Chains A and B, each alone.
Chain A
Amino acid sequence: MQGPILILAEHLRGDIASLTFEMLGIGRKLADDMKVPLHSVIFGKDVAPLASQLGVSDSVFVLNHPQLDMPSSEVVAALLKTLFEQKNVSLVLIGGTNVSTGIGPKLSFRLNLPFVNFCRNIRVKDGLVSFTSQLFGGKILSDVRLQENRGVVSVYPGSFPIDAGKSDRKPSIEMLDLPLEETKVIFKKYLEPEAGDIDITKQDVLVSVGRGIANADNIALVNELADALGGALCASRPVIDQGWLPLSRQVGKSGMTVKPKLYLSLGVSGAPEHVEGMKDSGLIVAINTDPNAPIFGISHYGICADLFDIVPTLIEEIKTHKSE
């Protein structure tokens, strides 16, 4: 017999994360298809007022405690395990975000149930739930199943519509009284983002570089292109982590979200983490050697070529065009 679905509501600094509504939307559909209840749970300090936003679920469990201000993954995993057992839950959905990192594997270890990472789609057919996970930065997808539909699932942000997870319905709210596991992992403070030399969110033209740039020496070339176009240089995570451009130039889920008029992408494969931060740009032109690169799926124009074959010519032609 299939048990209820439980969603861990994610929130940061007093706001429910949009991913929570994504999970509520797909969770609702899943629960209806399988004819089981949909529960959600929110843990934190001063989170009681947020519970009313979770009306898509049938019941909302709330645990409000001063010690739950940015609780460690071990504390949350312990609470979820208790709830899982008390409410006879089958499936838990957790946000695949930095905030929630570690909770899923810890819960799965403690429950001795499997964990599905990077989940981008969930379907039910003949009572069997199947999940599609993305691997290798979105280059490969994998369809997986869970024994008896039981397990812990990490939902990749941006995979499901947000609207389906919003409702004016008043959920039934249950205040939990669960013992808190003692933890020595202490949250001290927030560290605000550092301002960079330029604000890439305010640029009309962005030239973006990814792994295909190969090494730091090539930054000068793409910078020349950005200059010729009157824009600025930004990058995907691997380039930033190598220290070839400062953190303030990072586009993506953990970096900045940008909406320039032109986003010229060079050697960026288009991993979902990156796409999340640039998909609403006005005009997207991408150059990549791999014809299957996901970046082509969201670009207006694509060139399947080595960026080093195209960029020098492009710089010359732009200069010529300007001088004419």
Chain B
Amino acid sequence: MDIFVFLKMVPDVVEELLIGEDGKSLDTQWLRMKLSDPDEHALEEAVILKEKYGGTVTVVAMEAPEVEEVLFTAIAKGADCAVKLPGDWAGIQAPAIAKLFASYFSLTQHQIGSETLILIGSQAIDDLEGEVAPYLAEILGAHYVGVVTGIRLDEEKKKAIVMKEFAGGLRGEFELPLPAVLGVQAAEKPPRYVPVAKVRSIMKSTRIETVDVSPSEIISGLSVERLFIPEVAGKAKMIEGPPEKVSTQIIEILVECGIIRR
């Protein structure tokens, strides 16, 4: 089985995000990038599937700050091959990303067939024009299910049986033949940890492949007028001061509301 995982870097939202001078994009100067959370789960699920059913795992990512470390880490976790698509992809949206990923297959002459399983994080936090997986499935003519939280294969390894999340803990089981593109929400186990030393040694012994994909002209009928930071409704009464003072005030509030006894 040939498992492909497409990875995307997104801004780390733990940091404060600022708007750039054009008013329509993020200020990238202080932006810290990280692997999109669901993509990290897609990678984990791919490695779990390889361990269970055999096959190879290829990870493919668009060039971005920190992406090489992410690709080396993927190899340290169990991927067999890491590929970078060089270019300046800032602000690129799902319809264009899906075209790039599809062209990776045609450029490398990978046949998409009953051995092909493609995993992508279900939805990224910057997917303004939708998630990549269903667009890619359309281009490749592969079947698709999104918000997947578990995957197994039938005996012939020709069909995937997947769990899809609905709401409130309710899930559904779907069956679909390969080739398939699955939008992964969460792997069945949390993403594994690999020691930094292992990643460092992989960096010395392994090479990241590059495939030159040319950006395709995509004229989006969607135009971004402006980005802005939402005003916090200002409902919260802010408590300030050193930890002792803050703690005392929290306790006073809890006592007042009858949550802890006076």
Whether the Cβ atoms of A110 and B138 lie closer than 8 Å is yes
Whether the Cβ atoms of A187 and B172 lie closer than 8 Å is yes
State which of A186, A253, A297 has its C-beta within 8 Å of the C-beta of B175.
A186
The stretch from A26-34, A136-144, A160-168, A171-179 touching chain B is A136-144
State which of A106, A145, A254 has its C-beta within 8 Å of the C-beta of B225.
A145
Q: Which residues of B are found within 8 Å of A286, using beta-carbon distances?
A: 236
B169 at the interface (CB under 8 A from A): yes
Whether the Cβ atoms of B134 and A105 lie closer than 8 Å is yes
Q: Smallest Cβ distance from B97 to chain A, in angstroms?
A: 11
Where chain A touches its partner, the secondary structure class is mixed
The stretch from A1-9, A41-49, A57-65, A288-296 touching chain B is A288-296
Give complex CA distance A211, B242 in Å. 23
Give complex CA distance A312, B189 in Å. 31
State which of A130, A141, A189, A255 has its C-beta within 8 Å of the C-beta of B169.
A255
B205 at the interface (CB under 8 A from A): no
Given contacts A101-B131, A154-B130, A296-B232, contact A146 B221 (CB under 8 A): yes
A233 at the interface (CB under 8 A from B): no
Whether the Cβ atoms of B227 and A301 lie closer than 8 Å is no
Give complex CA distance A23, B173 in Å. 28
State which of B123, B125, B165, B170 has its C-beta within 8 Å of the C-beta of A136.
B125
Within 8 A of A (CB), among B116-137: 122-123, 125-131, 133-135, 137
Whether the Cβ atoms of A321 and B176 lie closer than 8 Å is no
Give complex CA distance A116, B222 in Å. 8
Q: Smallest Cβ distance from A96 to chain B, in angstroms?
A: 9
B168 at the interface (CB under 8 A from A): yes
Give complex CA distance A148, B222 in Å. 10
Q: Smallest Cβ distance from A9 to chain B, in angstroms?
A: 16
Whether the Cβ atoms of A262 and B144 lie closer than 8 Å is no
Q: Which residues of A are found within 8 Å of B14, using beta-carbon distances?
A: 211-212, 269, 290
Q: Which residues of A are found within 8 Å of B74, using beta-carbon distances?
A: none
Given contacts A99-B167, A285-B253, A294-B232, contact A140 B227 (CB under 8 A): yes
Given contacts A140-B227, A188-B173, A257-B168, contact A114 B129 (CB under 8 A): yes
* Chain A 234-247: CB-based contact to B (< 8 A → 1; otherwise 0): 00001011111001
Give complex CA distance A243, B229 in Å. 31
The 16 sampled A-B contact pairs (Cβ below 8 Å) are A102-B131, A105-B94, A135-B128, A136-B11, A136-B13, A139-B13, A143-B226, A184-B177, A185-B176, A186-B176, A255-B168, A283-B253, A290-B14, A302-B238, A316-B247, A321-B255
Known: A136-B125, A212-B14, A253-B167. 17 other contacts (CB 8 A): A74-B137, A98-B146, A98-B166, A98-B167, A108-B95, A117-B130, A118-B128, A136-B11, A144-B223, A241-B190, A296-B238, A297-B230, A299-B235, A300-B235, A303-B238, A313-B246, A314-B250
Considering the complex of A and B, which 7 residue pairs feature the smallest CB-CB distances, nearest first? Answer: A193-B169, A243-B190, A302-B236, A101-B146, A114-B222, A105-B130, A297-B233
Residues of A within 8 A of B (CB): 12, 70, 72-74, 97-99, 101-102, 104-106, 108-110, 113-118, 130, 133-148, 150-151, 154, 183-194, 204-205, 211-212, 229, 238, 240-244, 247-248, 250, 253-257, 261-262, 269, 282-283, 285-286, 290-294, 296-305, 309-310, 312-314, 316-318, 321-322
